[in-house]
Structure 1
Amino acid sequence: MPPARRSTVDQVADRLRREIEAGTWPVGARIPPEPDLAAFTGVGRNTVREAVGALVHAGMLARRQGSGTYVVAASDVRATVGRFLAGSRARDVLELRQALDVTAATLAARRRTEDDVRTLRDIRDRRARCWDSDRETALALDTALHRAIVAASHNAVYLEFYDLALPTIEESVTRHVAETRRGFHDEHAALVEAVIEGDPENAAAAARRLFVELSAHSPG
Structure 2
Amino acid sequence: MSEPVQPTLVQRTIGRIERAIESGEWAVGDRIPAEGRLVEALGVGRNTVREAVRALCHTGLLEARRGDGTYVRAASDLNAALQRRLRRAELKHVLQVRLAIEREAAPAAAVHRGEDDLARILSALLARRRAQESGDAAAYVDADLEFHRAIVAASGNPLMAELYESLAEAVRDSIASLRPSWAPELPGACAHEDLADAIARRDPDAATKAAWAHTQTVEAAMERMGEREGE
Give the structure-2-normalised TM-score.
Answer: 0.81
Q: How far apart in 2 are the matches of 1:19 and 1:108? A: 29
Q: Which structure 2 residue ranges, 5 or more long, are not aligned?
A: 1-6, 227-231
Q: 2:138 aligns with which of 124, 136, 139?
A: 136
Question: For 2:15 and 2:113, how far apart are their aligned partners in 1?
Answer: 38
Q: Distance in 1 between matches of 2:122 and 2:21?
A: 33
Secondary structure at the counterpart of residue 71 of structure 2: strand
Q: Secondary structure at the match of 2:167?
A: helix
Superposed CA deviations along residues 112-155 of structure 1, whole A, max 9, x for unmatched, are 34443333222211221133354333322211111222233223
Q: Which residue of 1 aligns with 2:87?
A: 86
Match of 1:143, SS state, is helix
Q: How does 1:1-220 map to 2 (within 5 A)?
A: 7-131=8-132, 132=134, 134-177=136-179, 180-181=180-181, 186-218=190-222, 219-220=225-226
Identify the range of structure 1 (111-120 vs 43-52) with the bigger mean alpha-carbon deviation: 111-120
- Assess, with a 3 A threshold, how the Cα gap between structure 1 residues 52 and 117 changes in structure 2: closer, same or farther: closer
- Give the letter for the 2:172 counterpart: E
Give the match for residue 3 of structure 2.
Answer: none
* Pair 1:153–1:16, CA change in 2 (3 A): closer
Distance, in Å, in 2 between the alignment partners of 1:182 and 1:52 is 47
User: Which moves more between the two structures, 103-112 or 75-84?
Assistant: 103-112
Query: Which residue matches 2:4?
Result: none
CA RMSD across the alignment = 2.3
Between the two proteins, the alignment pairs up a number of residues equal to 213
Once structures 1 and 2 are overlaid, which stretch shifts more, 8-17 or 90-99?
Answer: 8-17
Query: Larger deviation: 110-119 or 9-18?
Result: 110-119
Which one is further off, 6-15 or 41-50?
6-15
Taking a change above 3 Å as real, the CA distance of residues 29 and 122 of structure 1, as seen in their structure-2 partners, is same
- Cα shift at 1:111: 3.4
The alpha-carbon distance between structure 1 residues 63 and 182, as it changes in their structure 2 partners (threshold 3 A), is: farther
Question: Cα offset for 1:62?
Answer: 0.6
Identity fraction in percent:
38
- Farther off after superposition, 65-74 or 33-42: 33-42
Give the distance between the partners of 1:194 and 1:77, measured in 2 at CA.
31
Work out the CA distance in 1 between the residues paired with 2:106 and 2:78: 26
1:95 shift after superposition: 1.2
Q: Aligned equivalents of 1:146 and 1:31: distance in 2? A: 29
For residue 229 of structure 2, what is the aligned residue in structure 1?
Answer: none
Letter in 2 for 1:145: F
Q: Which runs of 5+ in 1 are unaligned?
A: 1-5
Between 24-33 and 148-157, report the one with greater CA deviation: 148-157
Measured in 2, the distance between the counterparts of 1:114 and 1:106 equals 16
